[in-house]
Amino acid sequence: MSEEIKQRIDQLIRSDEEADAPLYPEVSDSMEPDQVALLLESLPREARAECWAQVPVEQRVDVLVEMRTEARASLLRDFDSQALDQLISDLDAETLIELAESLPEDVVDIALARMDERQREHYERSAQYDENAIGRYVDHQLLILPQNSRVRDAVRLLRRETPLFTQHLWLVDRTGRYAGAVETRALFGQPDHLPLIELEEDEFEPLQATRSLREATEAFEHAEVSALPVVDDSGRLLGRMTQTLALELLHEHYEGQLMASAGLDEEEDLFAPVMRSSRRRATWLGINLLTAFLASWAIGLFEGTLQEVVALAVLMPVVASMGGIAGSQTLTLIIRGLALGQISAANIMPLLRKELSVGGLNGVLWALVIGFVAAYWFSSPGIGLVIALAIVVNIAVAALSGVMVPVLLEKLKIDPALSGSVILTTVTDVVGFVVFLGLGSLFLT
């Protein structure tokens, strides 16, 4: 389907202006809402608006929910009052939670007023949790029974409605507090009068609504079920976290990590306005400029040495590059460990020793190779010795920084994926240049 979307984008952008029939309906019936959302996000804003007009009315809400925040907002800004009124005519609590930040407050109030009391209560409970808490995104389509129900009550309920991922029935007490779970297949062959509490699964832990999305996803990964119940601080059952939601959160997490490594937001529109994108990226360009000036300043300290031994200037990129690559390998490993919860105070020192050992071994190996090559290239054993020593030191420092930088950033509540590579590159560049040129000044001048 991705290849089909690429072809459709090309057709939409290059289509003849005199064409009578719109191209979009040719594929809309065969595409899921998430695929339509991807298509819209892939179009320049003018083409996006034209394409949106061809989206079937009954599909529009689902498409908007699937779109990234900025791309969705670019469409909603052009909605007139009639289009907004049509959009919110029949929203449920989960959908309004997704769209609320992109809608004007008065429109959200109107949508709430049109909901029935049950949906409004679901929305108000979900809205009290912040954007990083699982309680905000719970699914309310779950089968709930009083804890004193019997098998015949469960069978009657299953005959009436069966939402997706109905692997369990959820039991609550009189106040709505979570009381247990019964697997639906456990009902087969049981007498009608048997109390459900006798079929309850042991050690079925619900998720606290205040848990972060990442923690909830990790808990779901190990639960081996299609849905997990979510409860508030008092134990009241709010809803459930489904397999679909877990996969969406996992996808968003890794996409966020990828974007953060470049100082970007995963919600950024591919065709965001030039000025807005420029402002966002200018910050990290400025930070990079400062680090570049710092490296240049370190080089400037040895201006006289460079003038006397030109070979050092030729070989400087080798030292910086080797340190940068070695450090980025360690950095990636540690960031992954932090994301998976594998790194703690108990194992940080053994991990540091291991990475220093790896760095030392690789440092010595490649220092010998580079040292011999440099000595032969410039017919100078001294240059070979200087660059070999600098490689060993810089790779060792890179290993140390690759472990400690993300750990310290994590303690400071700063995303290591966002700024770890910037700091690491600065450290390996500055240390590599100072050590290499310092040894050059000591032994070659």
pLDDT tens for each residue of 142-179 = 889 999 999 999 898 888 878 888 888 999 999 999 99
Phi, psi of 67 (to 5 degrees): -80, 155
Q: What pLDDT is stored for residue 386 in this prediction?
A: 92
Cα(335)–Cα(372) distance, integer angstroms: 35
Cα(25)–Cα(6) distance, integer angstroms: 16
Q: Cα 217 from chain centroid?
A: 12
Q: Cα 144 from chain centroid?
A: 32
Contacts of 345 (CB under 8 A, 6+ apart): none
Residue 46 has pLDDT above 70, yes or no: yes
Cα(234)–Cα(197) distance, integer angstroms: 21
Which has more confidence, 39 or 269?
39
Lowest pLDDT segment from 219-228, 233-242, 322-331, 395-404: 219-228
C-alpha dihedral, 5 to 10 to 11 to 15, nearest 10°: 150
Q: What pLDDT is stored for residue 348 in this prediction?
A: 87
Handedness of CA 63, 69, 71, 75 (dihedral sign): positive
Class of domain 144-260: alpha beta
Write down the number of H helices and E strands in the chain: 19, 6
Cα(316)–Cα(406) distance, integer angstroms: 26
Cα(139)–Cα(133) distance, integer angstroms: 13
Cα(28)–Cα(8) distance, integer angstroms: 11
Residues forming CATH 3.10.580.10 domain(s) in the chain: 144-260
Q: Judging by DSSP bridges, how do beta strands 207-208 and 227-231 pair with one another? A: parallel
- The CATH label, of 3.90.230.10, 1.10.10.60, 3.40.50.720, 1.10.357.20, for the domain at 274-444 is 1.10.357.20
Just give the CATH number of 2-127.
Answer: 1.25.60.10
Of the ranges 206-215, 308-317, 341-350, the best mean pLDDT one: 206-215
**pTM for this entry:** 0.60
Contacts of 7 (CB under 8 A, 6+ apart): none
Helix (H, G, I), strand (E, B), or coil: what is residue 242? strand
Q: What pLDDT is stored for residue 5 in this prediction?
A: 55
Q: Cα 433 from chain centroid?
A: 35
Name the amino acid, one letter, at 381: P
Give how far Cα 214 sits from Cα of 52, 101, 106, 251, 311, Å: 33, 21, 32, 11, 50
Q: What pLDDT is stored for residue 18 in this prediction?
A: 46
Residue 25 has pLDDT above 50, yes or no: no
Q: What is the DSSP letter of 115?
A: S
Helix (H, G, I), strand (E, B), or coil: what is residue 201? coil
Phi, psi of 230 (to 5 degrees): -120, 130
- What's the token pair of residue 431? 């240390």
Cα(397)–Cα(431) distance, integer angstroms: 8
pLDDT (mean) for 47-57: 81
Which has more confidence, 197 or 25?
197
Phi, psi of 11 (to 5 degrees): -65, -40
Cα(38)–Cα(27) distance, integer angstroms: 13
Cα(216)–Cα(360) distance, integer angstroms: 39
Residue 400 has pLDDT above 90, yes or no: yes
Q: What is the DSSP letter of 187?
A: G
Residues forming CATH 1.10.357.20 domain(s) in the chain: 274-444
pLDDT, one tens digit per residue, over 92-118 is 888 888 888 888 888 888 888 888 888
pLDDT (mean) for 400-419: 85
Cα(364)–Cα(369) distance, integer angstroms: 9
Category of 263 on φ-ψ map: left (φ > 0), alpha (ψ -120 to 50) or beta: left
Which has more confidence, 414 or 254?
414
